[in-house]
Amino acid sequence: MNLSDGVSSQSRFWVPLAERVRILTEYKRVAMVGLSANPFRPSHFVAIYLISKGFDVIPVNPREKEILGRKSYPSLKDIPGPVDIVDVFRDPSAVPAIVDEAIEIGAKVLWLQLGVIHEAAADKARQAGMTVVMDRCMKIEHGRLFGGLHSIGLNTGIISSRRIIN
């Protein structure tokens, strides 16, 4: 099985495959910043998948009291206990403040979802000792690496950009 994702090691988004596998196997407590209560939002879909795979997903959304039966916290600083991964579903402009809080609470990994790119904030997180994964989806990466793409969303048959003609 070829797990190469075609991203060059020269890319600013590159995190070695072994490191992504390590993150997804070692760390299970995920603070999901920007998790939506709306079941049609990508963050909601990702949270359901991660919970089904044994991750402890902690909603971080000041507008919600509870999401998916779990207490929602207004900020990272309000979460009791340690956080392994801070998974960000917010506009890139919000990332610097989130990084400051992630550093303050001692999170180990900053995971910026697809389309969430902020180089300066990522550099600050790296300088503070955090591992940074940027412009990748935890659900897609977990499913791709551990065989769960079929569980909520993707048919693991042939993945192609070509239209299937019946």
Residue-averaged pLDDT of the chain: 87
| Residue pair 88/60 in contact by the 8 Å Cβ criterion | no
pTM of the model: 0.84
Model pLDDT for residues 59-93, shown as the tens digit of each residue? 999 999 999 999 999 999 999 999 999 999 999 99
| pLDDT exceeds 70 at position 143 | yes
| pLDDT exceeds 70 at position 137 | yes
Find all residues with CB under 8 Å of 18, minimum gap 6, and list them.
Answer: none
| pLDDT exceeds 80 at position 13 | no
Q: CA angle at residue 120 from 118 to 122, to 5 degrees? A: 65
Question: Which structural domains are found in the chain, ordered by start?
Answer: 17-146 (3.40.50.720)
Model pLDDT for residues 88-130, shown as the tens digit of each residue? 999 999 999 999 999 999 999 999 999 999 999 999 999 999 9
Q: CA angle at residue 93 from 92 to 99, to 5 degrees? A: 80
Q: Determine the pLDDT at residue 150.
A: 54
- Among 103, 128, 96, smallest CA distance to 112 is for 96
Model pLDDT for residues 32-58, shown as the tens digit of each residue? 999 999 999 999 999 999 999 999 999
| Residue pair 118/96 in contact by the 8 Å Cβ criterion | yes
| Residue pair 20/14 in contact by the 8 Å Cβ criterion | no
State how far the Cα of 104 lies from the Cα of 31, in Å rounded to an integer: 14
Phi and psi of 51, rounded to 5°? -60, -45
